[in-house]
Amino acid sequence: MSVAAAEALLRAAGALPDDAIDGRMVLVAPHEPTFWRQRGHLHRRLGNLRAAIHRRAQVLALAGSEATRHGVAQEIRVRRSRLNRARRQAKGSG
């Protein structure tokens, strides 16, 4: 059974929350960019842009095609821009 199939079965059964499954899948298949991408989405939704950027960097390092690398690099630029903007706003209000 593939890692993706195991992940789908665990999610469908409701055995573990999505973030726990994603974390375990990264441990099981650290060279699979899909799991790093999912972790990045989770961190972005939680508002942890620094961790989201780090996860995207992992995807970039593991990406196979030039088109994928280009898209991920663009996502990293957007996340860094948002993080820098948030830092400037926090500095200005503090």
Identify the residue whose tokens are 């961790």: 51
**Confidence at residue 64, expressed as pLDDT on a 0 to 100 scale:** 86
**Confidence at residue 39, expressed as pLDDT on a 0 to 100 scale:** 84
Report the distance separating Cα 32 and Cα 15, nearest Å.
Answer: 22
3-state SS, residue 15: coil
pLDDT digits (tens, 9 = 90+) for 62-81: 988 899 889 999 989 998 99
Spatial contact of 16 and 26, defined as CB atoms under 8 Å apart: no
pLDDT tier for residue 94 given thresholds of 50, 70 and 90: low
pLDDT digits (tens, 9 = 90+) for 13-64: 665 455 555 667 777 778 888 888 888 888 888 788 888 899 899 998 998 8
**Confidence at residue 16, expressed as pLDDT on a 0 to 100 scale:** 46
The pTM of this model reads 0.65
Quick one: 14 exposed, middle or buried, by C-beta within 10 A (0-12, 13-18, 19+)?
exposed
Q: Which of 59, 72, 2 is nearest to 31 (CA)?
A: 59
**Confidence at residue 77, expressed as pLDDT on a 0 to 100 scale:** 93
Q: How far apart are the two ends of the chain, measured CA to CA in Å?
A: 53
